[in-house]
Structure 1
Amino acid sequence: MVYTFRQLSVMFFVLTIMGCSSLGYPDKGHGGMAESFQDISMDEYQFSPVMPDEPLGPEHGLRFDWQLAKLQLDALIAEGARWCFPAAVVQALEKQNRIARELEGGLIIDAANDLVIQRKRLNELEQQLDYVLSEISCTPPADITSLRSDLETVSNIYELLNIDNQFAVNSAEINPKYMGHLAEAAFILRGQPSLSLVITGHSDITGDPIHNNKLAQDRAEQVRRYLNIFGIAQARITTESVGDALPLFEGNSEATRLSNRRVSIEVLDVNSSRP
């Protein structure tokens, strides 16, 4: 359907030769999840793979990968993903914009980790869209205003679930502040039965990989347990673990380890469940 990796690479090369690789993604505070959807074109997110008069470095490979992900997301949007899976698209836009800011700020490891997550997310979205388009066509809804309101809700839920979610050392116990965010997110989710969650558990780098993977899974399961208590059906929640494989930040300082003891949560449409 959309494009193979080889086709995307060729497209990127052609665009570069034609001089279409300018820098111009939204400033901080603009281009948020629901805001992005008002103008879903990715033109404003262009990021130069090689800055003028800049010596080549390892970060340029990541900029190339960012551009390939952008082209893949562009293609998915053009095929109708924004109408079939709007929540997934706006979160992909948010992630793409975040990676661009990380690259500009020199946060190379952070950008690399987020690109791994983004490419996985886009490949899953491509599979889902292929399946749906084999059965139906995706068209804009009659009520765009209502759609934008729904996306604002998704954005709010996403932010509540992905903040203040750190854990103590070697523990799956949820801190009280995050418990409050879970309760607030669950209250909103009870009125949005079309939304489901994917909870991914993470650990810091202390401990052996087997232990870290189990600990990260326990953290994801603990979050699901409390969401169940707050009224969200277990069938709406999927859990998984990546152990210490995808840290939020690189390093071994106490502050870094705290940030990496976490869960990350995606908000999905029920009909866009992972294949």
Structure 2
Amino acid sequence: MKEPDKIARMLRAMAVIFLVVVVTVTGLYGQELNLSTRSKKAQKLYNQAEQHAIQRNPELAIDALKQALKIDENFIEGWLFLAEMWQEGQHPDKALAAFQRAFSIDSLKYPQMYFSMGTLAYDVADYRLAAKYYKSYQALNHLDSIQNSVVSKALKITLVASKLESEPSDVNIKNTGKIMNTSSDEFVNFLTADDQMMVITRKTRRDTLIEGKEMYAEGFFVAHYTDTSWTRPQAMQLPWADGYNAGGMSMSADGRSMLFTGCYWPDGKGSCDIYYSNRIGQSWQTPVAFNARINTTGWESQPVISADGTTIYFTSKREGGKGGADIWKSNYIPEKGWGTPVNLGDSINTAGDEMAPFIHGDGQTLYFSSNGHPGLGGYDMYFVKKDEAGRWSGARNMGVPINTSYDEVNLFVNLMGTHGWISSNREGGMGGMDIWDFPIPKTVAPQSIVLLAGIVVDKMTGKPLEAEVEILTLPAVIEQINLKTDPITGEFLVVLNPKNNYTFHISKKGYLFYSEQIVIENTSNKPHIDKVYALQPVKSGVSMNLNNIFFNFNSDKLLPPSKPELDRLANFLLDNPTIGVLVTGHTDSIGTASFNLELSRKRAKSVLAYLVNHGIESGRITSEGVGDTKPLATNQNEQGRAMNRRTAITIKDNF
């Protein structure tokens, strides 16, 4: 069995509880032990081992004990002392074997051995054996209330682990290989929406010591997927990070904003702080530290931002937590910045450590790593779901084989919710924390989402444009998304909820705005909408459809969801005072031609009246109705008829 990572062993969630009962051999078995061996030489070697242990020379202590046990193989205290040495040296398999040897000599002399063996059996992932030892210890009926409570908690955790082990998911989890992983630590941070580019943090040991402690260097690397495999990760070109420690990184869903952890940076408030950088084109801008509400004089790390850009989640050891490192969130307040962080509460945070939060693009599923919730040992991955009231469910362990008795951290689930990548130091890796990938089981999958991606360009030249994008839910505005396209590439990407329909607007000064209805049910077989949006420069004679104008059936009464589109048209005219517009109403062919002509005229006049009532001079606007005489599509099916029922405007400069 591969030796568990030292850090993982030290940070195990139940270590403190175990130590309440299991102390050193001397404390556990009496200050003045009556050694069972009659061999003076074995006793002398035992005493030498004690001195070596006090002087922190475990190798010499172990060697002395082995010699003593060769002299007297039934020397029970020698086996117990050896077990303690192996346990302190992070060798639970050897420690368990030594305890079992002592137990076989005399099972009643030191009954606390049951608890020690239970703890070690848990450490080596033999959960059934651990439960057996704990139950046997309880059955002795000599425990006080505190001891019984500790054993009961340990047994409960062990039974949870045993149940998880007995119900594995049918998941093939595999190492991403020696091209991606090294003997150092690799942590998965981000994948692009097409799953073709991965960003990782690599943590390497430095040659220097600071205040006697080993120091590590962290940096960001990028790998690309080509045909069937990943390329070798290459260091990201970030001049501002040269010479500094930067890790714990994530990106926004569109890959244009980076959040990361900077430790011991010159402008830092604490040991580690949270920073962000925005990408313009292919260049990452100089990072900026988050405000004093987020960064404290303590430790903040591992930030992640929601797909809509309004909430960040991060790990902190600040005051007000549940113990250890907790997960906190902060909401963005327009014109005020990031608000006071809120602890995510008891359903997520424990007295142990909760680390590496990851909020999926659905905005409803949060994954995180913890050593405080019952699990398989070390850090396990958990997830919670948000209900309609915004409350988080209880934490659920992601189960076997995603979790093991080793450490699992830094989960990333792709936007489509079909595939996951995780960092783990489990057996079968290249050393340290490796990146592993696996298909996401339905039992732990996020909600489905729809991606809206595009490029905004000038219709005449094809040049990319920096434009304003606004997306509102229909029929009621329960969600609003505002963003700008990349000023160099014109690109944008938005995550949409498949339960909603939306109005979609693109605007830029000097151009006609673009509007569209996004009916999600029409994209059920196409979760990734990818288009080029060409904006028409403002000039006389150009026309556009107002795709988000809505009327009652066979009526000229405007419906409330039309307001954003009409307000946008009014603002467009206010921003361009030298032009006028002709509003044209169109219908499908259902009904008589005369009825449709009159209906189209009335609807165009309703739009005109709205604009006049919102500050547009009446002389700048004219209206007409053309009924069903100018269809865009066939009237033989509903899809075509829906396209033909429309309101359009034409730019006029001779009003």
TM-score by length of 1: 0.41
Larger radius of gyration between Structure 1 and Structure 2 = 2
Higher normalized strand content (fraction of residues): 2
Higher normalized helix content (fraction of residues): 1
Greater relative contact order, per chain length (Cα 8 Å cut-off, separation 6+): 1
TM-score by length of 2: 0.18
